[in-house]
Amino acid sequence: MPITDILKKNADFYPNDVALVEINPKLENQTKLTWREYSLIETGASDAYRTEITWSEFNKKANRFANLLLARGIKKGDKVAILLMNCLEWLPIYFGVLKTGALAVPLNYRYTADEIKYCLNLSEADAIVFGPEFIGRVEEIVDRIPRVKDWFYLGNDCPTFAQSYDKLVTYCSSKNPEITLTDDDEAAIYFSSGTTGFPKAIIHAHKSLVHAAMTEQNHHSQTKDDVFLCIPPLYHTGAKMHWFGSFLVGGKAVLLKGIKPEWILDVVSKEQCSIVWLLVPWAQDILDAIERGDIKLEDYDLSKWRLMHIGAQPVPPSLVKRWKKYFPNHDYDTNYGLSESIGPGCVHLGVENIHKVGAIGKAGFGWEVKIVDDNKNEVERGEVGELCVKGPGVMLAYYRDEEATKQVLKDGWLFTGDVAQEDEDGFIFLVDRKKDVIISGGENLYPVQIEDFLRKNDKIKDVAVIGLPDARLGEIAAAIVEVKPECTLTEEEITEFCIDLPRYKRPHKFIFADVPRNPTGKIEKPKLRDIYCGEKLVAKQINN
């Protein structure tokens, strides 16, 4: 069954039930519109705090975009990129692409212009939908990617180099396009990266997406009456695949455009949300606000909230202990996954296993796991090795990268690059990562990219970027900077230099010291971690 069949089923069975709600808390005192009212004005022109769409309207919106793409010559196997902030149109656009038989290609909203160009070229995108936040970045590259024929703009004041999505879909049929799809058809390309920071294009079939929905629903028992609060970005597999559990049963989801603790609790209260997926920093912020007295739980109706689960980064057991103090009736789960395994769920803790907090858990629904040594042989329990997973959600391949595919896919097993061990009860614990990727607040930071940027400073002889533990973000990026002997360099100077680096990539700490390299010239990052991760640093923290 292709994933698009689930949308059609929901539209047929629950046509007038609310499918999606968008909440913009910055506009709380403004108008609240229904979808029909909202559709009378251009997308993005509304000052609505709350907007909703039914399953029937969701499906019709997807069909209109699908029929627009088909009219423009998009066909099965083509690729359509999506570069949008979370909004009510995001998911209908995604499903509109899938209904044509084309592949949806979600892009990280933090990408620079060059990164957008790289990903469009790598995925061989034929069209793109982008929002107002990206006009400047898209304008830089629009003339440098001749393959992209259609640049659809979602919002007001359409730039001259693009076409208005809103105006074009108005004249398109809302009937389901007659495109035959199967489980094995390619459905989407998601981007990931290795330690080099160059994104890889990950291909998933419809069966991967459907299995993600089945896995999520099996793990968290979503019913039609559950309401899922979605805060993380939809371009990422994490947010979307967790939503898929609600999607499978026709449940309502709420898209919250903000992460302030009071906004989260207010929406849970007003929308009667029952399932909330958080990142560690957001859970930490909620607890801190409660303990400071900024938030009083009695001011909210949180009676329907039954599950809080976390993914995207290691979860401190102390955080879960604090959470249960204030929310003793909540079920809790930890989810592990990769974009290559269609996001979270290939390993999960399970709501019944809170006594094992600290572990990532056991194999998820429909998944197998093993831990192997460098010779690909399974290790004994308690021994350390590389975590491998196998199941219907494993990617088909890295697009246009056969060599990289062979390195991680072997006999159906996905080699994750994560080092793990299994305890006596069969629970898996992550020990370290083979890759040097830093996960900070759920976002991947690639040290090589940051190092390459810092090396442009004429006063820097060498630099290495590593992750340091952080109670709120999980990890922060720290730059060990070796200054040229004849030069002096202050923290203020290097902080100013980093203004041209995207904010989320800027190191939080700068440590002035020698950068060790081995005889082959590689930076000895394990040595740096040994030196700095276990000691109290006196280096000044930069509050980015």
Give SS3 for 292.
helix
* Exposure letters 71-87 (e unless 16+ CB within 10 A, then b): ebebeeebbbbbbbebb
> What pLDDT, on a 0 to 100 scale, did the predictor assign at position 432?
63
Torsion angle of C-alpha atoms 233, 239, 244, 247, degrees rounded to 10: -50
- Tokens 């042989």 belong to 377
In whole angstroms, what is the distance from residue 154 CA to residue 245 CA? 27
Domain 307-433: CATH superfamily is Luciferase; Domain 3 (2.30.38.10)
Which helix (H) or strand (E) is 90 found in, with range? helix 90-99
Amino acid at residue number 216: E
The pLDDT tens digits along the chain (544 residues) read 899 999 999 999 999 999 999 999 887 665 554 444 444 433 333 457 899 999 999 999 999 999 999 999 999 999 999 999 999 999 999 999 999 999 999 999 988 899 999 999 999 999 999 999 999 999 999 999 999 999 999 999 999 999 999 999 999 999 999 999 999 999 999 998 543 457 899 999 999 999 999 999 999 999 999 999 999 899 988 889 999 999 999 999 999 999 999 999 999 999 999 999 998 878 888 998 999 899 999 999 999 999 999 876 667 787 899 999 999 999 999 999 999 999 889 999 999 999 998 899 999 999 999 999 989 999 999 998 899 999 999 999 999 999 999 999 999 999 998 888 999 999 998 876 666 778 888 777 878 778 878 988 989 888 999 999 988 888 999 999 999 888 899 999 999 999 988 888 899 999 999 988 754 456 788 889 889 885 434 333 333 3
3 state DSSP class of 365:
coil
pLDDT value of position 358: 84
How many angstroms separate the CA atoms of 124 and 323, rounded? Answer: 45
Domain borders along the chain are 4-258, 307-433, 438-532
What residue spans of 100-236 are helical by DSSP H?
113-123, 135-141, 165-170, 206-220
User: Does the CA dihedral 147-149-155-158 come out positive or negative?
Assistant: positive
DSSP structural state of residue 293: T
Q: Can you say whether the dihedral through the CA atoms of 295, 299, 301, 303 is positive or negative?
A: positive
Q: How far apart are CA 166 and CA 129, in angstroms?
A: 11
**DSSP letter, residue 255:** E
Q: DSSP code of 470?
A: E
**What was the pLDDT predicted at 313?**
64
pLDDT given at position 403: 95
Which residue, 133, 333, 124, 302, is CA-closest to 216?
333
**Which of 277, 224, 275, 255 lies closest to 89 in space, CA to CA?**
255
Rounded CA Rg of the chain = 23
The H or E element spanning position 410 is: strand 409-410
State the Cα–Cα distance between residues 352 and 355, nearest whole angstrom.
Answer: 8
> Hunting for tokens 């004849």 — which residue is that?
486
The DSSP bridge partners found for residue 278 are: 310
Can you say whether the dihedral through the CA atoms of 220, 223, 229, 234 is positive or negative? positive
Residues in the chain: 544
Are 505 and 470 in contact, with CB atoms under 8 Å apart?
no
Question: What pLDDT score was predicted for residue 31?
Answer: 52
The rounded distance, in Å, linking the Cα atoms of 132 and 115 is 18
Class of domain 438-532 (CATH, top level): alpha beta
Residue 154 has what pLDDT?
Answer: 97
Instruction: Tell me the C-alpha distance between 488 and 472, whole Å.
Output: 33
Cα 106 to Cα 83: distance, rounded to the nearest angstrom: 6
- According to the model, what pLDDT value does residue 281 have? 78
Rounded CA gap, 266 and 257, in Å?
13
Residues 6+ apart with CB under 8 A from 271: 21, 23, 227, 229, 252, 254
- Alpha-carbon distance of 375 to 412, in angstroms, equals 17
Angstrom distance (rounded) from CA 439 to CA 465: 13
Residue pair 203/396 in contact by the 8 Å Cβ criterion: yes
Structure-token pair, residue 317: 């057991």
State the Cα–Cα distance between residues 379 and 385, nearest whole angstrom.
Answer: 7
What SS3 class is residue 458? coil
Which pLDDT score, from 0 to 100, does residue 488 have? Answer: 92
Alpha carbon 259 to its chain centroid, in Å, reads 15
How far is it, in rounded angstroms, from Cα 327 to Cα 335? 19
- CATH 3.40.50.12780 assigned to 4-258: yes
CA distance 80 to 65: 11
Backbone phi, psi, residue 492, to 5°: -65, -40
The residue type at 50:
R
The encoded tokens of residue 441 equal: 């607040």
pTM for the structure as a whole:
0.82
Q: Give residues with Cβ within 8 angstroms of 529, minimum separation 6.
A: 466
